[in-house]
Structure 1
Amino acid sequence: MKKYGDLIKKSLFTILMLSIYLVGQSIPIPLHGISFQIGSEFSMQNLLSLTTGGVFSSATLFSLGMGPYMTVSILISIILFANRDRASQFSHEQRGMIQVRGIFVLSFLQSIPLAYNLQTTVTSQAIKMNYFLVFSMTIICLVAGGLLISWIASINSKYGLGGPFIMILPGIITGVTRSISANYTSVIMIASRLVILIIVTIIFVFITTGLYTTEYHVDIQRIGIDRRSKDAYYAFRILIAGTMPLMFATSFMYLPSYIMQLLDWKNDFILSFFQLTSLRGIIVYGIIIYILGIIFSFVNIMPEQIAQDLKESSDYIVGVNPGHDSQRYITRRVFVFAILGSLYLATVVITPLLIGYWTGNEIYTNFSNYFAMLFVLISILDTVRQDIDFLYYKDNYSLFNIKLKGGR
């Protein structure tokens, strides 16, 4: 048991955090009733709710989910990595304070339209109370829940498995099962359609897992090390952007509706560009995913910084001059994989939407949600796998495990 000690401890800690998270989603906000009947149809609100681990249809302590934490974390990473010199001036405590303040502000902004939409869950006794008081209490509870979720995610990143984003795992699993149940009678109960769904799912999981885990190696010559050494390389994944384009595209598509709710104003023409029931909305959604995929690829892999780090360490890419040539070499390769990866993700998500639009059959539309959730699920499980592999080899690695003859 000792050699698996860290793995067991971190696994149990993550299970505890997930349990607390699920309990928090069951605690109703005062003066509100609670209902977990989330719509199974495909919509941006449902997809946003599932990808952030929120429960937008019920007034619970954790209704906001991981949305504020995820958005602020990614935005801070983009800003800091875009200006490494400026980022180096911030201490760990200062970054943490900036993150907490950002989460507070974003939780407050997101809680306003959510509290407005949750008016239908107010209890009969609360209806007789002052509306502003009930509305304010709802916002306070939602913001407090958003901050608590952020704390849970942060400590799981330090003491558990799967990083902070594993907190959305229950929501992702719920989304996958709900997409299947939404088409139960039309797909599951018909043997031929069920077989097709199983085959397509297996193919999708196989291809996506392969693309997500496959790495491209750039051979590096390190000073004093034989250039034939297979350990001297810089690696990045084929799907460089990961799931961030999908999560941000969902938020971006929901943004106009969110702003209109804040302003108590509605424009159907503008909304048509961000609704997946229209062809223009589907096309816009695909374009946003594609563009964000390229952007986040260069956020995750920064050619300029890599070239600079190689130059400062006196290392270089085999067959490429240090400095500008190395930066251009890496940029070209990242750009190629960014285009291919973004195209794959956009195609996976919008193909069912286009088929559903042209056929007028919502069954196909719902499967866009299904494949999007599977993609995110693969990403989360791969992160957990990496953590488990690291802990396993760490717990079983011994630098001096050879007992010399005659030694004690």
Structure 2
Amino acid sequence: MQASGIQSELAQRLLFLFLAIVIYRIGTFIPIPGISLAEVQRAINSGDVGNLSAFANLFSGGAMERMSIFALGVMPYISASIVMQLLSHMPGKLKELKNSGSTGRKKITQYTRYLAFAVALFQGISMCLLFRTAALYSGPAFWLIGGFSFAVGAIFLMWLGEQINERGIGNGISMLIMAGIVASMPRVFAGLITSAQAGDVATPLVLAIFAIILALFVVIVYMETAQRRIPIHYARQQAGMALGQNSPYLPLKVNLAGVIPVIFASAIMILLVAIFSFLSNVDIGFASFGRYMNIVATNLQSGQPVYIIIFALLIVGFAFFYTGLVFENKELADDLKKSGAFIQGVRPGKATADYIDKVQNRLTLVGALYVAAVVIVPEVFNMNSSNQVLLQFGGASILIIVVVAMDFVQKVQAMRMSTQYESLMKKSHLGRRRN
């Protein structure tokens, strides 16, 4: 009964995840009030809003080009989370709340939601100002109603992600981002094949694109499973190991931060483009102000050298930042000491913690450079090509798909192993009762 209960729970969680993604995809086809979709398409095709649409469409599964209520995706929530995590590590009230236990963390989560709504409202209004030529009615009413609609959609997705965390499988926010990217894949590849058949894209270029994508998949899978194994030893009286048995080791992942640095960096880039796009539409009496802001926004467009440099630096920075949040070298060293384990040539305690921290920092650097390279290589390709398939399905997209999918499979396997373990325990218990 217990094993079948776990199996039933797995099925229920999978069903909830499926329904949540269906709801998300339906929402991407619901436009905000008072918008002409024909004018939106004209503006996108003409390149008037390329700065913002290229970013938003990447993580929203095409919701941006439909001016959907979900066009902002979960990026406002991620931006707010970054700000709150940074502030909670600085001296002040937030740091006190963070260290005050579960009650304090709940309070920080509440503040994060408020900030996420404010960020979403700002980005929503910026989007409406950018597409003001597509408005069916003029004046503040359009960007106020539209901005509020975008903000409500973003907050709903934030809530939906939290529900997936509690009642589904995997990280809810990451699953929604992956769902949006995967939803764009058929259209992107169909467009590429159609262009090749029409002669607009050379066949060698198509083959090169598929080769790059395949190579990225292989590299990502290899690097995401890569570990540095530090051998650990026990005192003789505690080891009890048979002769020839493999020594235990401490596994340290090369890319401990996973896909978080890419998501965080993307959220910051989207926010920066929204800010400068908004400022380019603000009249402050300085004739050239809007033009300068538009130049900045243009340079933050995917494929531009400035964008590539900033994006790579953000990825590396967030890799170290997030690893520092989740990796507890002191706690790990204390656990080794309490269990009687030690690293050969390293004193237990602080020396062990420092050694582990040094090794993990080196691994983090390697992992950060690998992630940056995976994301940047397609961007460099975009600089020298008019075909934007690698922008829509580039390194960032592939990395998110592979990492989130691997995490999802691991969680499903963990639940299935739990089921098998419970079944074995039940059979063992029944066998003992019969004897």
Q: Into which bin does the TM-score normalised by the smaller protein fall?
A: 0.7 to 0.9
Give 1:221 shift: 6.1
Matches within 5 A, 1:321-340: 321-340=347-366
Cα 1:179–1:322 shift into 2, 3 Å: farther
Cα 1:277–1:393 shift into 2, 3 Å: closer
Per mean C-alpha deviation after superposition, the further-off stretch among 376-385 and 205-214 is: 205-214
Q: Which residue of 2 aligns with 1:87?
A: 98
Per mean C-alpha deviation after superposition, the further-off stretch among 218-227 and 113-122 is: 218-227
- Tell whether 2:258 aligns with 1:242: yes
Cα 1:33–1:236 shift into 2, 3 Å: farther
Match of 1:19 among 7, 13, 22: 22
Match of 1:290 among 299, 312, 316: 316
Cα 1:144–1:309 shift into 2, 3 Å: farther
Q: Which residue of 1 aligns with 2:285?
A: none
Q: Which residue of 2 aligns with 1:167?
A: 176
SS at structure 2 position matched to 1:235: strand
Q: Which residue of 1 aligns with 2:286?
A: none
CA contact (8 A) 1:273 1:281 kept: yes
Give 1:134 shift: 2.5
Match of 1:183 among 192, 197, 200: 192
Cα shift readout 1:305-360 (whole Å, capped 9, x = no counterpart): 5445656x566543332332122212222122222222222222222333443xx4
Per mean C-alpha deviation after superposition, the further-off stretch among 75-84 and 62-71 is: 75-84
Matches within 5 A, 1:51-130: 51=59, 55-77=63-85, 87-90=98-101, 91=103, 93-123=106-136, 126-127=137-138
SS at structure 1 position matched to 2:58: helix
CA contact (8 A) 1:6 1:395 kept: no
Give 1:239 shift: 1.6
- Tell whether 2:390 aligns with 1:367: yes
Give 1:252 shift: 3.2
Identity of aligned residues (%): 19
Question: Hey, what's the Cα distance between the residues in 1 that align with 2:147 and 2:240?
Answer: 60
CA contact (8 A) 1:294 1:338 kept: yes
Per mean C-alpha deviation after superposition, the further-off stretch among 91-100 and 237-246 is: 91-100
- Tell whether 2:166 aligns with 1:158: yes
Cα 1:269–1:196 shift into 2, 3 Å: closer
Name structure 1 gaps, 5 residues minimum.
none
CA contact (8 A) 1:349 1:369 kept: no
Match of 2:33 among 30, 34, 59: 30
Q: Which residue of 1 aligns with 2:343?
A: 318
Give 1:82 shift: 8.0
Cα 1:199–1:329 shift into 2, 3 Å: same
Q: Which residue of 2 aligns with 1:379?
A: 403
Give 1:184 shift: 3.1
Question: Hey, what's the Cα distance between the residues in 1 that align with 2:197 and 2:366?
Answer: 33
CA contact (8 A) 2:378 2:391 kept: yes
Q: Which residue of 1 aligns with 2:222?
A: 210
Cα shift readout 1:116-139 (whole Å, capped 9, x = no counterpart): 22323323xx34xxx222322222
Question: Hey, what's the Cα distance between the residues in 2 that align with 1:297 and 1:54?
Answer: 32
CA contact (8 A) 1:273 1:284 kept: no
Q: Which residue of 2 aligns with 1:392?
A: 416
SS at structure 1 position matched to 2:251: strand
SS at structure 1 position matched to 2:239: coil
Q: Which residue of 2 aligns with 1:251?
A: 267
Name structure 2 gaps, 5 residues minimum.
283-289
Question: Hey, what's the Cα distance between the residues in 2 that align with 1:348 and 1:39?
Answer: 28
Question: Hey, what's the Cα distance between the residues in 2 that align with 1:182 and 1:287?
Answer: 32
SS at structure 1 position matched to 2:393: helix
Give 1:46 shift: 1.9
The number of aligned residues is: 399
Per mean C-alpha deviation after superposition, the further-off stretch among 325-334 and 151-160 is: 325-334
| Structure 2 counterpart of 1:205, one-letter code | F
SS at structure 2 position matched to 1:183: helix
TM-score, normalising length: structure 2: 0.77
CA contact (8 A) 2:98 2:108 kept: no
Q: Which residue of 1 aligns with 2:287?
A: none
Question: Hey, what's the Cα distance between the residues in 1 that align with 2:257 and 2:194?
Answer: 36
Q: Which residue of 2 aligns with 1:261?
A: 277
TM-score, normalising length: structure 1: 0.82
Cα shift readout 1:54-74 (whole Å, capped 9, x = no counterpart): 733333222221112233345
Question: Hey, what's the Cα distance between the residues in 2 that align with 1:252 and 1:374?
Answer: 19
Question: Hey, what's the Cα distance between the residues in 2 that align with 1:188 and 1:338?
Answer: 44
Q: Which residue of 1 aligns with 2:374?
A: 348
Cα 1:44–1:108 shift into 2, 3 Å: closer
SS at structure 2 position matched to 1:216: strand
Give 1:289 shift: 2.7
| Structure 1 counterpart of 2:400, one-letter code | V
CA contact (8 A) 1:27 1:61 kept: yes
Question: Hey, what's the Cα distance between the residues in 2 that align with 1:153 and 1:40?
Answer: 34
Question: Hey, what's the Cα distance between the residues in 2 that align with 1:151 and 1:31?
Answer: 26
SS at structure 1 position matched to 2:29: coil
- Tell whether 2:141 aligns with 1:133: yes
Give 1:373 shift: 0.9
| Structure 2 counterpart of 1:169, one-letter code | M
Give 1:208 shift: 0.8
